[in-house]
């Protein structure tokens, strides 16, 4: 079975949770955008957290990094280019992007 790649909007939202917090944004809310399971979105957030750890960036300590790799092995870097852009724009600009995405979402998912 082929997995559907995460959209740019989903990565921006997942990155916000991994970097900062999930109080204003939840995996459940993100899951509605492309009709993904909440578990899949949670794993994406955890994968982003693992990438941030691998690259030495601070992140949301309430998110567990995706586990399951042998000691010393690094995780996948899927969407790292976009995640690194979100790091560079800062928390307030990142949240502004998230609000734009949520505002564009179909009302039943926002």
pLDDT tens-place string over residues 48-88? 999 999 999 999 999 998 876 655 555 578 899 999 999 99
The answer to whether residue 49 sits within a structural domain is: yes
Number of structural domains (the chain) is 1
- Is 64 in contact with 46 (CB distance < 8 Å)? yes
Spatial neighbors of 57 by CB under 8 A, at least 6 apart, are 19, 87
* Cα gap 86→88, rounded to integer Å: 5
The answer to whether residue 1 sits within a structural domain is: no
The answer to whether residue 17 sits within a structural domain is: yes
7: left (phi over 0), alpha (psi -120 to 50) or beta: beta
The answer to whether residue 2 sits within a structural domain is: no
pLDDT tens-place string over residues 13-41? 999 999 998 888 889 999 998 999 999 99
The answer to whether residue 27 sits within a structural domain is: yes
The answer to whether residue 96 sits within a structural domain is: yes
pTM for the full model? 0.87
Q: Which domain holds residue 38?
A: 8-109
């Amino acid at each position: 079975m082929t997995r559907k790649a995460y959209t740019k909007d989903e990565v921006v939202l997942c990155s916000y949770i991994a970097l900062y917090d999930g109080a204003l944004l939840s995996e459940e809310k993100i899951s509605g955008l492309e009709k993904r399971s909440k578990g899949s979105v949670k794993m994406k957030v955890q994968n982003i957290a693992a990438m941030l750890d691998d690259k030495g960036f601070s992140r949301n300590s309430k998110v567990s990094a995706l586990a399951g790799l042998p000691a010393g092995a690094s995780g996948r870097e899927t969407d790292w280019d976009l995640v690194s852009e979100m790091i560079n724009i800062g928390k307030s600009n990142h949240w502004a992007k998230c609000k734009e995405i949520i505002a564009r979402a179909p009302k039943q998912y926002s």
